[in-house]
Structure 1
Amino acid sequence: MSNALAQLAQHGVSVWLDDLSRELIESGELSRLVDRGVVGITTNPTIFASALSKGDAYAEQVRELAAAGADVDKAVFEITTEDVRRACDLLKPVYESSQHLDGRISLEVDPRMARDTEGTIASARQLWAAVDRPNLYIKIPATVEGLPAITQVLSEGISVNVTLIFSLDRYRAVMQAFLTGLEQAREKGLDVSSIASVASFFVSRVDAEVDKRLDAVGSEEATALRSKAGLANARLAYQAYEEVFSTPRWDVLADAGAKPQRPLWASTGVKDPKLPDTLYVTELVAPGTVNTMPGKTLEATADHGEVTGDTVRGSYDESRQVLDALERLGVSYEEVTEKLETEGLTKFEASWGELLQTVTDELDNARAVQGTEK
């Protein structure tokens, strides 16, 4: 393990990789990353679309699915759940050695279900049953419609990674949905110690949108606030986490064996090349958190990341001042976070469409070849 990754772990930060492909698994690279300190993996539709468009690692399975007459939705389901199942097995030792805290792989529900509560619940159940591994997280977007779905699937014992969180108010609603889900699970007699959750709070996308608006303002004060909103927002999220998980309501669940819903820092690759490439890692160090990094950010952190200790607690007043200053300049926090959620869903739907088209083309090619061989 590199010094920086080891230091993050010592300060209570779990290092996860925001990437997965069959090539990563079969080449042995994923095993090497685990040896270096990676203890979990997140995926999303964009990651799978990229994986399927490169190389021929999926060719054999595509041929089998084509021969079996699978349609594109069935093929995508089988391909993605196979990758995640294999990754779950590979990280099972981490899952066991961490007392089930880490060693987890996240798989997202069909993004077309993001505004459909019942559709999300059905998709989550189907994915959970298909992968059939205890160290799986089902990713559910933190839309208004997603909140009751999060509660419902948690109440059924399904572990959840809540994704696409941008605003503090929505994050608080996510934590309430988590608590309600565990309470319902406990009422059903389920073992709440086996139900896990993380809440993925997005960071760099906030800076990208806010900085664009600050540049339009163009004042000296606006320039001084560039690239500060993402960290301020995330740090205040951690403050909210501390508040919620120190209440009597939580204590009841904790006494029954429940584990807190950990904050997960997502979107941690810098969008602005002028920023330090480890900014959203070294400046978001706090106990009980997860940082999921794209490969480039992970390598940068391992190579030259400087971990100086807790960089979150003690920053709450300053962080609040940053958000207040933005409002005074006319940069609306509510507008920014609403836009980012909408854009995030649109991007995932577009990636899903690309994935469907890629698999459709591969299935058609496989069937054409099979037809000529008869």
Structure 2
Amino acid sequence: MSERFKSKLHQITVQYPTDYWNDSCSIEELSYAVENGAVGATTNPTIVLGVLKKEMHLWEDRIRELIAEHPTWDESALTWKLFEEIAVKAAALLRPAYDRYGGKKGRLSIQTNPAAYRNAEAVAQQAVHFDSLAPNMQVKAPVTQAGVRAIEEATYQGVSINATVSFTVPQALAVAEAVERGLNRRTAEGKAVDFMSPVCTIMVGRTDDWMKVVAKRDGIEIDPATLDWAGIACVKKAYGIYQQRGYRTRLLVAAYRHLGHASEFIGGDLVLSIPYEWQVKFNASDIEVRERMSQPVDAKIVAELYEKIPDFRRAYDEDGLSVEEFDTYGATVRTLRGFITSAHDLMAVVRDFMLPNPDVK
């Protein structure tokens, strides 16, 4: 590797339009990522819970201060305030990139309350609030039926969204169309859109996870290696449609399970949101840095997935899911349950500061 590249991931960002983000707001992990070319980062309740467990020494004094500063606040209000402050601190590390790229890069994604996935107004209102916390915020909203409406409204309000809880081609297309409606509403009123940088996540590993659950649950005989291509196939199909239609939303690939979830998208005009451990593994691997985005998934693999797993057809076909079906799709349900549980676990962390166990010295 040429000495001008600090790592394989840095090489990708220099040679191709592919961006990479740190899939965490951990200060330690984000510092490594920025050094290696990352121009963004993300949060969600699960990530923030992990950050607190890893970096509690950076936050325990602040948690106590927040409790003292707001004597009437309950654990929910305190938790969301802490959530905001963790995001803002991470956003500061990305501000140089934000300024350098005129707002198109260098953003920190902060997730709206996952429990509000059925309430478009609540998601949109929280998105607008989160957008005000720092110039370089990117706000995550779920791709549920209500979430799609919230994405349009938040976009209209000038929020750069990151659509999350998304696993399928139909979801990615619904997001792109909602963003277009929001942007068009702004331009029709003479409002600027050039500063905005919407993205739509496809949680590629969680797409694979769901296919594996379905195969096991329903007794479907299929090569296990084939299942590792389900998410990649969905991303590549969605990407082709995005490019063909000229959507102003970029795709973002998250939820990594193996190195192919990074290498298969090299060269695409999209974002790789990679957890720290997978960044380290990728940089240390012998994977050649070369363009693969334009290479389709083996037709035999797609055909086997399509023939044997009905939920792959629903994920892969443009009209495989209606917007009304987004909320009940298996991967959506599993992910929302996990995010909501993590949000409650975060509150429990704050509760332990508010009401420390009297049985323990």
Q: TM-score range by the shorter chain?
A: 0.7 to 0.9
| Mean CA deviation greater in 305-314 or 138-147 | 305-314
Name the CA distance, whole Å, in 2 between partners of 1:82 and 1:335: 39
Q: Answer yes or no: is the 8 Å Cα contact 1:210–1:331 preserved in 2.
A: no
Instruction: Give deviations 1:280-333, integer Å, cap 9, x for gaps.
Output: 1011223311001111101111112524422122416x45x5444323224432
1:325 lines up with 2:330 in the alignment = no
- Within 5 Å, give how 1:82-161 maps onto structure 2: 82-129=85-132, 131=133, 133-161=134-162
Name the CA distance, whole Å, in 1 between partners of 2:341 and 2:95: 32
1:7 lines up with 2:3 in the alignment = no
- Hey, what does 1:203 align to over in structure 2? 204
Instruction: Give deviations 1:7-37, integer Å, cap 9, x for gaps.
Output: 211122111111113xx26xxx533431222
Q: 1:97 to 1:360 in 2, by over 3 A?
A: same
TM-fit CA distance, 1:222: 4.0
Q: Answer yes or no: is the 8 Å Cα contact 1:53–1:358 preserved in 2.
A: no
Name the CA distance, whole Å, in 2 between partners of 1:305 and 1:116: 46
Name the CA distance, whole Å, in 2 between partners of 1:309 and 1:104: 26
Name the CA distance, whole Å, in 1 between partners of 2:61 and 2:272: 34
- Hey, what does 1:355 align to over in structure 2? 346
- Hey, what does 1:267 align to over in structure 2? 255
Name the CA distance, whole Å, in 1 between partners of 2:106 and 2:148: 25
- Within 5 Å, give how 1:172-251 maps onto structure 2: 172-214=173-215, 217=219, 219=221, 222-223=223-224, 225-245=226-246
- Hey, what does 2:323 align to over in structure 1? none
Match of 1:14, as an amino acid? Answer: D
- Hey, what does 1:292 align to over in structure 2? 273
Q: 1:234 to 1:305 in 2, by over 3 A?
A: farther
1:18 lines up with 2:6 in the alignment = no
Q: Answer yes or no: is the 8 Å Cα contact 1:2–1:302 preserved in 2.
A: no
TM-fit CA distance, 1:66: 1.7
Uncovered stretches (5+) of structure 2, i.e. residues with no partner: 316-325
Q: Answer yes or no: is the 8 Å Cα contact 1:109–1:120 preserved in 2.
A: yes
Q: Answer yes or no: is the 8 Å Cα contact 1:235–1:312 preserved in 2.
A: yes
- Hey, what does 1:371 align to over in structure 2? none
Q: 1:356 to 1:230 in 2, by over 3 A?
A: same
- Hey, what does 1:339 align to over in structure 2? 330
Name the CA distance, whole Å, in 1 between partners of 2:356 and 2:311: 49
- Hey, what does 1:274 align to over in structure 2? none
Sequence identity percentage: 25
Q: 1:147 to 1:225 in 2, by over 3 A?
A: same
After superposition, the CA RMSD in angstroms is: 2.3
Question: Alignment partner of 1:20: what SS?
Answer: coil
Question: Alignment partner of 1:56: what SS?
Answer: helix
Name the CA distance, whole Å, in 1 between partners of 2:140 and 2:286: 29
Instruction: Give deviations 1:183-207, integer Å, cap 9, x for gaps.
Output: 0111222111012211001111222
TM-fit CA distance, 1:40: 0.9
Q: 1:294 to 1:330 in 2, by over 3 A?
A: closer
Name the CA distance, whole Å, in 2 between partners of 1:232 and 1:77: 36
Match of 1:186, as an amino acid? Answer: T
Name the CA distance, whole Å, in 1 between partners of 2:230 and 2:313: 13
Name the CA distance, whole Å, in 1 between partners of 2:38 and 2:283: 11
Name the CA distance, whole Å, in 2 between partners of 1:30 and 1:212: 32
Name the CA distance, whole Å, in 2 between partners of 1:176 and 1:73: 34
TM-fit CA distance, 1:223: 4.8
TM-fit CA distance, 1:231: 1.3
Name the CA distance, whole Å, in 2 between partners of 1:143 and 1:42: 19
Match of 1:359, as an amino acid? Answer: V
Name the CA distance, whole Å, in 1 between partners of 2:311 and 2:123: 30
Question: Alignment partner of 2:190: what SS?
Answer: coil
Uncovered stretches (5+) of structure 1, i.e. residues with no partner: 251-259, 271-276, 369-374
**What is the TM-score with the length of structure 2 in the denominator?**
0.86
Name the CA distance, whole Å, in 2 between partners of 1:153 and 1:98: 22
TM-fit CA distance, 1:72: 1.4
Name the CA distance, whole Å, in 2 between partners of 1:43 and 1:227: 25
Instruction: Give deviations 1:222-250, integer Å, cap 9, x for gaps.
Output: 456332212111111111211221xxxx6
Question: Alignment partner of 1:134: what SS?
Answer: coil
